Amino acid sequence: MQDVMSSTDIAQFLEQDQNKDLLRFLTAGSVDDGKSTLIGRLLFDSKKLYEDQLAALERDNVREGHAENDIDYALLLDGLKAEREQGITIDVAYRYFSTNKRKFIIADTPGHEQYTRNMVTGASTANLSIILVDARKGVITQTKRHTFLASLLGIKHVVLAVNKMDLMEYSQEVFENICGDYKNFVTRLNIPDVHCIPLSALKGDNVVDSSEKMPWYDGKTLLHHLETVHVGSDQNFIDLRYPVQYVLRPSQGYRGFAGKVASGIVRKGDELMVLPSRKKSVVTSITTYDGELDEAFPPQSVALTFADEIDISRGDMLVRPDNMPKVGRHFESMLVWMSEEPMDPTRQYLIKHANSTTRARIDKIRYRIDVNTLNKSESDAFELNDIGRTVLTTNKALCFDAYQKNKATGSFILIDPLSFNTVAVGMIIDRVSEEEMPSRITGGEQAAAVAGRSMITKAEREERLHQAGATIWITGLHGSGKNELAYKLERELFDRGAVTVLIDGSVVRAGLSRELDYSPADRAEHLRRVAHMCRMLNEQGLITICSFISPDESIRTQVAEIIGKERFYLVHVDAELEFCKAQEPELYAKAERGELQYLPGVDMAYDCPVKAAVTVDQRHVGVDPEKVVSYMLAQEVIR
């Protein structure tokens, strides 16, 4: 640092430092392969540690070190208490440092299979992956798993760091055998640049300085390789993709569109197209916080203005008219499940792609892949850390590219719409045509639709709603309290999460049956209509709560037959006539004076149910819905 400061002034040094390019890399490997130790050694030997960090390292090494007589450099990375106690990495730890040639962001990722999602998180933005192997063990299952994940996430540069060479007497034969095994495996994957380095993280061999103990190795040290590996060509500067993040309107005279250039280069005077509207206009300015630019490229965040006042909103994408992304609702992707909650193929998730968010469903899992063996198997759902190929359909069309071509427009996350937790990350493979969609309507399903039958099965509805479609038919005299019971029951079921529809006789009379009177014939027609309505709702998986006098036993039987006896549950509110009269004295008085006809209990009979599923005794316990709810639980109408 002193040499640099003496040979140039501070302004030049800061400008030079500002213009250094950035390399993001991660370390991956099995437990005890020395990932954290390697990074610690890298920082220590390149003299990028401050005095207080060194003092803390020496202090922690005495108390918690696992390296016997040497300094345990892993303590620089393992920040969590559990990590230090177990000597393993659990969470992703990021470190930043720079040399005279380059700036670095390091992601130290866990080695355990159970933390696969953490490794995916760390690798999602990396240019290069350092895969560590223990020279004593060679290429093992975890080595293959981590290499596969690096390939899956589109990392084009891999360094195979053969660590702990000091424990194998720095043997050239051991190193070459491991490299041969690894290269045989990696040829099956899409990783064009693989570099092997023998080293000892603990002793510092070939990490920053070349090792005198391995004179047979004439390649680069790890730091030298990191400083010189060319990653600039990994960026896509051809296909312009500019997802709009914000519409800027600070004054009447300015209307700009802010976002990050995902790929390609945009210049003033370029004609761009807005997706999905397909309107075109010419770029008039490219603005940043520091002023105007003539061109912008990834990953710059800029604001664009256009010659025309065309409609552009957040989530739209700006592209060149002759270089379009794919636009569609159906696509295949590789999905990494990251939630403790297993995938539910019957529900919809939110999908966040670029700056657009909509709903999506998982139509089919093509296969699940065993990341340890690369074997494929059939699966109906994913659990935590599962990876597989899936077909997705979104509610709104997305503008996307294949992930291998463009990470920004080829990646997405799935979000639980209730908890808003990220449940999965995905890498788009390609669009799927309507004809290839696994969810397309088959011949049998088309016939069902034509015949008016739902393509959703009863079991699917019950699984989704956690209930069975059923009708709770409450009968009783006027004034018995059946309406009160119906509304209390609705409240109780709602609080338990059930999906219900309450059908009140007076409401139906006011609309669907308003031309009918209370004569036995019209009352039967009225109940027939209600029964058909209940049947339709029950077939949709809903629970209907009906409150009707329905005084005739034969009519109640007919209603049960229309609805379906297996889902018809009769509840009788048992109350004496005198009690009912006391509740509604005017109504009964009017009937007794002959001013009202067909009132059950006065001028027509009321048949008490012979075999009610539940009888609620109004005289002793009132209309507590608990007895009905208990019965529904016992019958598994609700769960």
pLDDT digits (tens, 9 = 90+) for 367-400: 998 877 788 998 888 998 889 999 998 888 889 9
User: Predicted confidence band at 474 (pLDDT cuts at 50, 70, 90)?
Assistant: very high
Spatial distance between the Cα atoms of 61 and 628, rounded to a whole number of angstroms: 67
Contacts with 108 (C-beta within 8 Å, 6 or more apart), sequence order = 26, 27, 35, 36, 39, 77, 89, 92, 93, 94, 95, 122
CB atoms within 10 A of CB 179: 20
Q: What's the mean pLDDT in 297-311?
A: 89
Residue 597 near residue 552 (C-beta atoms within 8 A)? no
Range in 44-53, 462-471, 501-510 the model is least confident about: 44-53
Q: Which CATH architecture has domain 458-635?
A: 3-Layer(aba) Sandwich (3.40)
Q: Hey, what are 519's tokens? A: 């004569």
Residue 309 near residue 89 (C-beta atoms within 8 A)? no
Domain ranges of the chain: 11-234, 241-319, 326-436, 458-635
Spatial distance between the Cα atoms of 48 and 514, rounded to a whole number of angstroms: 85
Spatial distance between the Cα atoms of 131 and 142, rounded to a whole number of angstroms: 10
Q: Which helix (H) or strand (E) holds 393?
A: strand 387-400
Give pLDDT, residue 634.
Answer: 92
Q: What's the mean pLDDT in 20-24?
A: 84
Give pLDDT, residue 83.
Answer: 46
Q: At what angle do helices 626-634 and 482-495 cross, to 10 degrees?
A: 60
Indicate the CATH number for domain 11-234: 3.40.50.300
Predicted confidence (pLDDT) per residue in 570-585, tens digit: 999 998 888 888 888 9
Q: What's the mean pLDDT in 484-500?
A: 92
Domains 241-319 and 458-635 belong to one CATH topology: no
Q: What's the mean pLDDT in 199-209?
A: 88
Higher pLDDT, 4 or 134: 134
Give pLDDT, residue 1.
Answer: 47
Predicted confidence (pLDDT) per residue in 121-164, tens digit: 777 788 899 999 999 999 988 888 888 888 888 888 999 999 99
Q: What's the mean pLDDT in 317-339?
A: 91
Give pLDDT, residue 390.
Answer: 93
Q: Hey, what are 85's tokens? A: 């106690």
pLDDT of residue 92 exceeding 70, the answer is no
Give pLDDT, residue 82.
Answer: 47
pLDDT of residue 14 exceeding 90, the answer is no
Give pLDDT, residue 70.
Answer: 64
Across 51-65, 87-101, 347-361, the highest mean pLDDT is recorded for: 347-361
Indicate the CATH number for domain 241-319: 2.40.30.10
pLDDT of residue 546 exceeding 90, the answer is yes
Average pLDDT score, the chain: 84
Alpha helices per DSSP H over 436-551: 443-450, 458-465, 482-495, 505-510, 520-539
Q: What's the mean pLDDT in 450-469?
A: 79
CB atoms within 10 A of CB 181: 15
| Residue recorded with tokens 């027509």 | 604
Spatial distance between the Cα atoms of 22 and 274, rounded to a whole number of angstroms: 31
Dmax (CA) of the chain: 118
Spatial distance between the Cα atoms of 569 and 555, rounded to a whole number of angstroms: 14
Residue 260 near residue 241 (C-beta atoms within 8 A)? no
Residue list, annotated binding site: 29-36, 108-112, 163-166
Spatial distance between the Cα atoms of 567 and 66, rounded to a whole number of angstroms: 67
Smallest CA-to-CA distance from 352 within 315, 382, 389, 404 is with 315
Residue list, annotated binding site for GTP: 29-36, 108-112, 163-166
Strands 614-617, 568-574: parallel, antiparallel or unpaired by DSSP? parallel
CATH topology of domain 326-436: Elongation Factor Tu (Ef-tu); domain 3 (2.40.30)
pLDDT of residue 43 exceeding 90, the answer is no
pLDDT of residue 12 exceeding 90, the answer is no
Phi, psi for residue 298 in degrees, rounded to 5: -65, 145
Residue 410 near residue 426 (C-beta atoms within 8 A)? no
Give pLDDT, residue 518.
Answer: 82
Q: Which residues pair with 95 in a beta bridge?
A: 106
pLDDT of residue 607 exceeding 80, the answer is yes
Q: What's the mean pLDDT in 298-321?
A: 90
What is the gyration radius of the CA atoms in the chain, in angstroms?
A: 35
Contacts with 65 (C-beta within 8 Å, 6 or more apart), sequence order = 71, 72, 75
Give pLDDT, residue 517.
Answer: 80
Q: Report in angstroms the alpha-carbon separations of 35 from 26, 30, 134, 254, 297.
A: 9, 9, 10, 51, 34
Strands of the sheet containing 128-134, edge to edge, are 93-98, 103-108, 22-29, 128-134, 157-163, 193-198
pLDDT of residue 35 exceeding 80, the answer is no
pLDDT > 90 fraction of the chain, expressed in percent and rounded: 32
Q: Which helix (H) or strand (E) holds 634?
A: helix 626-634
Give the SS3 label for residue 561.
helix
Q: What angle do CA 537, 439, 430 make, to 5 degrees?
A: 140
Higher pLDDT, 618 or 112: 618
Strands 271-275, 279-288: parallel, antiparallel or unpaired by DSSP? antiparallel
Q: What's the mean pLDDT in 338-350?
A: 86
